[in-house]
Amino acid sequence: MSDCSTSQSARPSHEQVICSLFEGDFHLGLAALMNSIVRGGFSGLFWIGYRGSLPPWTKGLERNKEGLFHVGKALLGFELVKGNRHLGQLKPEFLSQVIDRGIAGKYIWYFDPDITVRCKWEFFEAWVRYGISLCQEITMGTMPSTHPIRCAWGELAREAGWGDPLRQQERYYNSGFVGMDIAHRDFLRQWIAAIRLANRNGVKPDQFQKGGRAQVFFTIDQDTFNIATMYSHMPLSAIGPEGMGFIPGGFIMYHSVGPSKPWRKKFLRSAFRALPPTPADKHFLEYADGPILSYSSLSLKWRRMCAGIAVLVGRFYRRV
C-alpha cells in the first residue's frame, strides 16, 4: 500500500506542474516561493501536499469552478497527505502520483517550501529539457565515487540485487529541488527504491535524519536522492552550489537550509549576535507579498524595517 495516500481526485492535466510539501509554519515559506515563481512568469499549476490545515492566506484567493485557487496567472491546488512517513521521504512518491493521476502532462518540478526563485521562469523551462535538473550541495558537495559512505551505499545496493552503479558520481546533490520531463520519471522509481532500501537498513519511515554524518544514512531524502543519481539511467543536468545561493555567483534560487528560517528569525536579536540577515532572508522578505499575502501589511512592514536595521547593525557586529 502507498505511503502517500491522498484525499482528492485527479485534476485536468497541465503541461507544467510545480509541487511542494509542507506542514506547520512552512506555509509562510511556501507563499514566498510561489510569489517568486509567479512574478518570474510561471503560469502553470502549483500542486501542494500538506498536513494539518490549509494556509490562512488561502482565504484571500479567488477560486475557479474546479476549486483551484488563482495565484496571478497560475493555478494552485492542495491535497491532504495522510500517513506518518516524513514528508522528506514522501517527495518522489508524491511526484509519481501526480504524474500517475494525469495532473502533470509534460514537466514536473519539486521545490522545498524554504526556497525562493531569483530568475525568470523561462530558465527552468529551458533547463528541464536537458535532463533531470539538479543542484549541488555545499556540505559535502564534492563526494568522490570512492567516498566510504558512497561505497557503503553500493554494498547495500548490491546486496539488494541492484548490481553496480550505472554512473560514477563525484558530487552530492541537494534534494530540495528537482525538475524533469515526465518521460524521465523512472528516476522517481529509483529514488523510491532507495528510500525503501534505507528503511530496510534501520531508517524509520518518520525520520528526517538519523544519527550523524558518519552514518550510512544521515539526511534520508538527500542520501537516497543521491543513490538514485548513481543507479538511474535517466540523463542529468546539474548546477553547482551557487544554484541555491550556497556560495556567491548564483542567479537561480536561494535555499534557506537549517532550522533558522526567514519567517522565524528575530532579525535585530540575531544582528546583535553578529548574525545579520542573509541574502536568502532578504529575498524572502521581498517576495512575502503579492500575489499571495501571507502577512498583514503592517506586520510585513515591521519585519522589513527590522531586517533593514539589522543590516546596518551587521556592518559593525560581524563574526570573524
Residues 6+ apart with CB under 8 A from 177: 109, 110, 111, 112, 115, 133, 134, 135, 244, 253, 255
Mean pLDDT of 108-129: 98
Is it the case that residue 170 has pLDDT exceeding 90?
yes
Query: Final residue of a domain: which of 220, 244, 268?
Result: 244
CB of 136 within 8 A of CB of 240? yes
The answer to whether residue 319 sits within a structural domain is no
Do the domain assignments include residue 252?
no
Count: domains in the chain? 2
Look at residue 157 and tell me whether its pLDDT is greater than 80: yes
Instruction: Give dist(CA 123, CA 118) in Å, integer.
Output: 10
User: Between residues 293 and 9, which one has the greater pLDDT?
Assistant: 293
Q: Omega before 291 cis (within 30°)?
A: yes
CATH code of residue 226: 3.90.550.10
The pLDDT of residue 199 is 98
For residue range 60-74, list pLDDT tens digits in order. 999 999 999 999 999
Residues 227-285: tens digit of each pLDDT:
999 999 999 999 999 999 999 999 999 999 988 999 999 999 999 888 999 999 999 99
Domain endpoint, select from 244, 278, 300: 244
pTM equals 0.95
Q: Residue 110 and residue 240: Cα distance in Å, rounded?
A: 18
Distances (CA, A) of 161 to 80, 133, 165, 191, 193: 35, 27, 11, 16, 12
For residue 298, the enclosing domain spans 259-314
Given pLDDT bands bounded at 50, 70 and 90, which one contains residue 11? low
1 — pLDDT class (breaks 50, 70, 90): very low
pLDDT at 303 (0 to 100): 97
**pLDDT above 90 covers what percent of the chain?**
92
One domain, residues 144 and 278: no
Task: Say whether both 85 and 189 belong to one domain.
Answer: yes
**Domain boundary pick from 244, 274, 299:** 244
Q: What's the pLDDT at 65? A: 94
Shared domain check, 300 and 217: no
Over 70: is that where the pLDDT of 117 sits?
Answer: yes
Average model confidence (pLDDT) across the chain: 95
Instruction: Note the pLDDT of residue 13.
Output: 87
C-alpha cell at 301: 512592514
Q: Are residues 114 and 178 in the same domain?
A: yes
Same-domain pairing of 306 and 180:
no
Of 200, 35, 201, 189, residue with least CA distance to 111? 35
